[in-house]
Amino acid sequence: MADLSIDFAGIRAPNPFWLASAPPTNSGHQIHRAFEYGWGGAVWKTIGAPVLNISNRYGGLSIAGQRLLAINNVELISDRPLDVNLREIAEVKRMWPDRAVIVSAMVDADPQAWRDIVMKIEDTGADGIELNYGCPQGMSERGMGAAVGQVPEMCELNTQWVTSITRLPVIVKLTPNITHITEPAHAALAGGATALSLINTINSVMKIDLDTLRITPNIGGRGTHGGYAGPAVKPIALNMLAELMTDARVRASGVPISGMGGIVTWRDAAEFLLLGATSLQVCTAAMHYGYRIVEDMIDGLSNWMDDKGFATIYDVAGRALPQTSTFGELDLSYQAVARIDPDKCIQCNLCYVACNDTAHQCIDLVADGGVRVNPGFDVRANGRQVADTRPQPVVREPDCVGCALCANVCPVDGCIEMVSVPSGRESITWDQLTAQRPEVATSWDAMMAYRKEQGIDIH
């Protein structure tokens, strides 16, 4: 059986699944219960400056009946008294010595404020500190959270104030509300961070109620921006994780990264591991389904690792990174075409509509007898009505550019597959092509001449 235990910047845990700093880690009672279900660690809901939360603080994104594809929150950091949180942190760590207990902290950008909170955290026996530089609502207006994470100089300075006075591992939690995620990461490393975590929530307005014309969530007739999280943010989180793990300075530093943002299943977790994360944080999924989801995560990841022959988390971590690339390094000669399995096709025609209206018009609807038809007209063959049939979508492969839109809109798994086919051209990347023939990047005449030479005809 695979060994799921981790050593994350000196913080040990029996598995990589940690609850993220959020409502699921608001109290000792909650974390006790979470650990009983098997969570490997928990990042305590952020403690620090005094706050007062508001009511009606969550908004959810539902599409086609699927609930909570994303959640928007306007909640602040912990509104429980500091001494209560500190006492419960100590109690949890004492009762669960084998689990990772990390304390998220946020205070004013002042060295004395950080000294005061860090010394109190150290006294609890916690395993590490996570510096919350990501919260985009409420706290950022007070000069904390994202207001620090979005300014590399402030990120470095605040981190240095903490790392210079503590013996504990310091994890810097990065905000995604920034143009280049590498910049605050470099700043955190310059400040002495021993680990990074990402992503925090994305600044957002969830929706407008078309009956009341008010922003949701509605707080006494008013609304505001909040933090966006849940399954819908996973692609953004994976991209930012890949950016860090392929950055030379981050890779050279050797600091581990805790990945989060849309992890719901063990499959999601495996994707974060494959891009280099070595601990995983979960919030929205626990809020939606409860703590017990970790049982499926542990079993699923363990079984997958066994099937793949991975003995430890570190055998998995980063295995997909060698395949990540810039556009300029992709093979321009690679060719794929869509193929529709007629035995699986339900003749819904979504592929035809998508291709005909918004892609490259290379799917035909074909009736019995090979007659091409248009949707909305009677299907006739040889002048007779074709009984009990619907036209079958068929791809004209010579005209297919391999965009894969049809495969993505098809509601039947495995009905449309993208199949690699020989292009007849030598392998070349955009970087190589423009180095050899720089004129193709600036002149359409030169580009069309190159296409003619290579036999490239875009339908």
302, containing H or E segment: helix 293-308
Q: Return all residues near 97 (Cβ < 8 A) that are at least 6 apart.
A: none
Q: CA-CA distances (angstroms) from residue 175 to 140, 193, 421?
A: 11, 15, 42
Token pair recorded at residue 15: 């598995």
Sequence letter at residue 327: F
* 69 touches 233 (CB < 8 A): no
| CA dihedral (255, 146, 233, 56) positive or negative | positive
Q: Which residue has the tokens 């143009």?
A: 179
What is the rounded CA–CA span in Å between residue 180 and residue 177?
9
DSSP string, 18-78: EE-SSGGGSSHHHHHHHHHHT-SEEEEEEEES-----SS-EEEEEETTEEEEEEEE---S-
By C-alpha distance, which of 184, 308, 297, 311 is closest to 250? 184
Q: Return all residues near 309 (Cβ < 8 A) that are at least 6 apart.
A: none
Where in the sequence numbering do the catalytic residues fall? 135
209, containing H or E segment: strand 207-209
Q: Which residue has the tokens 């030479």?
A: 453
* 312 touches 293 (CB < 8 A): no
